[in-house]
Chains A and B, each alone.
Chain A
Amino acid sequence: MRKAVKKDRLAWLDIMITLLTLELMAYFYYGTRALFTALLCMTVSAAAEFISLRIMHRRFTADDLTCVSDGLILALMLPAFIDYEIVVIAAVFMIVVAKCIFGGRRNMIFSPAAVGYIFILTSWGKELLTYPAPHDRCGIFSKPDTLVDSASHIFNLSGKLNYSDFELLLGNFSGPCGSVSVLLLVVAAVILILRRDISAGAFIGSISGTAILAYLAPVSDIRVDSVRYSLIMNMVLFASIYIISDRRIAPRRNYYAFFYGFFTAVFAYIIVLTTAKENAVVIVSVLFTPIALSLRTLERSIEHIRRKDEKAREEKALAADDTEVSADEQ
């Protein structure tokens, strides 16, 4: 038990380190405002979790710090210059409504960050989907004069992108402040999979689902471009790592997790293809939560049956041994 707790804490630490590197990149592109937004989001999330746990007569322990990583995931999905009020409301909503009402970390149903993101999308969609251009830096309490559409939006509508591979790799294009640095995301994915901090099955399923469909039904004229851009745009890579592959939500076995990730990605891709909906993968990940829950229940049932079979076999073997011994004695 203690080993499992220790493992969870180390996993959280790994995730936090990768998220912080992404935040560093956001600071590089958008300045102190991005840093302050993340800090605010994490602080409010921690405060909301602390108060909720006190109301539930529970103690705030080191394990409850997952709320901080949830806060950071949400902050990285937002534009760097979004209003602080929105950040505060969304962080409170995500922790209280999507997490604590269901019992907190012991009984996770949804990915809090994904719910927080959809909450902002449904209430302040315009503020959420207009972004500053990279290197458009401002102070903590100022905003840039012009905001632009994201590269994902342009790609969804036209199937084309005017960025070099180097720019794409470094995330030097307009979009959510921390979820566009492809190079860092790839490194983060490899580290987290190798350290078993995220579900490898769900991640591979999600990436392969997007890639296969982007090849079969391309958004761009060139299939390879379609695969490349579809993986980078619409936060597919980011959501595949931190939302779909979240071990708290995804099925435990890689086999089931793969199909969960695969179908989530396929649905999201079709939505992008047919409606040009930006960042559809986050929405679909919440819609597919009942499927993840069902798969987890199925896993448990299979495990239960397997254990029962093993027990019955052991008992049978023991009974056979007993009869052999008694026969020998006679």
Chain B
Amino acid sequence: MSSKKSHIFDGLLSDNTVLSSLMVISPIIICGESLKNAVAIIYAFSIITFFSVMLSSFVPKKLPYAVKIIIYALISSLVCVPVKLAAENFYAESINRIGIYYPLLAVNSLIVVQTEAKFFCMKKLRMTASLFFYILGFDAVILITAFIRELFAYGTINSRMVDVNRTIGGLAESFGGFIFLGIMCGIYRAIRSRISHSSAKEDNDVSDN
């Protein structure tokens, strides 16, 4: 039971889309420099990915791999249209700044690669729950990244000035995104290995007893 549970939550921590598999990192590197952009990306990514994967799950499994991938990509590019139209009302300001990264979310690796490799090997209900946590994992990472980068690059939180003595402009640039994400990945791995070490130790202790 516990292993099954951990499998569903995998996407949030132990198999995080961004930090573990390094997927969908372009929007985080480029657009994850302010909370406003991050919220707009979260909205688009969550809806596009969720609906695209759910709709794609109805595609017959017997079709050749290449054909299925093309259909998944076509479905997500269609889902992207209403999402973008709605976003133009809610996040008009962010849409311009995000630019091509908005439509690019439609061909993200979670839809194109992970669907076949991971999601469609599960039962529907389980897949839905797992997908939800994978999306949540991405959302959490971009939110944390955007918060820290905005704070130290611009000295603001959600465009409100805060008392930061020395801002680091480079953190808002693409190279800042690369380096910051690299460091975050390293820290994430260190924490993950420490947790797995301690849980393995606990298991050993229990079995010894």
Contact = CB atoms under 8 A, between A and B. Distances in A.
* Touch between chains A and B, by CB atoms below 8 Å: yes
A125 B186 CA distance: 29
Given A97-B179, A101-B182, A101-B186, A85 B173 contact: no
Given A97-B183, A101-B186, A119-B170, A85 B165 contact: yes
Interface of A: 83, 85-86, 89, 97, 101, 119, 122-124
Nearest to A124: B169
A300 B115 CA distance: 43
A101 B182 CA distance: 10
B170 A123 contact: yes
A94 to B, nearest CB: 12
8 contacts: A85-B166, A86-B166, A89-B168, A97-B179, A101-B182, A101-B183, A122-B170, A122-B173
Interface string B165-178: 11011110101000
Interface of B: 165-166, 168-171, 173, 175, 179, 182-183, 186
A123 B152 CA distance: 11
Contacts of B165: 85
A83 B166 contact: yes
A53 to B, nearest CB: 15
Nearest to A119: B170
Contacts of B171: 123
Chief secondary structure at chain A's binding surface: helix
9 tightest Cβ-Cβ pairs between the two chains A and B: A123-B170, A122-B170, A85-B166, A123-B169, A123-B168, A97-B179, A119-B170, A89-B168, A85-B165
Contacts of A83: 166
A89 B182 CA distance: 18
A118 to B, nearest CB: 9
Nearest to A122: B170
A123 B166 CA distance: 11
Specify which of A86, A89, A122 lies most central, judged by the most chain B CB atoms within 10 Å of its CB: A122
Contacts of B182: 101
Contacts of A122: 169-170, 173, 175
A214 B182 CA distance: 40
B127 to A, nearest CB: 37
Specify which of A83, A85, A123 lies most central, judged by the most chain B CB atoms within 10 Å of its CB: A123
A97 B170 CA distance: 14
Contacts of A85: 165-166
A124 B182 CA distance: 22
Nearest to B180: A97
B111 to A, nearest CB: 32
B168 to A, nearest CB: 5
Contacts of A86: 166
Contacts of B173: 122
Nearest to B182: A101
Nearest to B190: A55
B153 to A, nearest CB: 9
Contacts of B179: 97
Contacts of A123: 168-171
Nearest to A84: B166
A290 B27 CA distance: 26
A85 B170 CA distance: 15
Contacts of B166: 83, 85-86, 89
Contacts of A89: 166, 168
Contacts of B175: 122
B124 to A, nearest CB: 42
B197 to A, nearest CB: 13
A119 B170 CA distance: 8
A83 B170 CA distance: 17
A83 B165 CA distance: 12
Contacts of B186: 101
Given A83-B166, A89-B168, 9 more contacts: A85-B166, A86-B166, A89-B166, A97-B179, A97-B183, A101-B182, A122-B170, A123-B169, A124-B169
A270 to B, nearest CB: 23
Nearest to B168: A123
Nearest to B169: A123
Nearest to B173: A122
A119 B169 CA distance: 10
A189 to B, nearest CB: 32
A54 to B, nearest CB: 14
Specify which of B165, B168, B169 lies most central, judged by the most chain A CB atoms within 10 Å of its CB: B168
A89 B168 CA distance: 9
A211 to B, nearest CB: 32
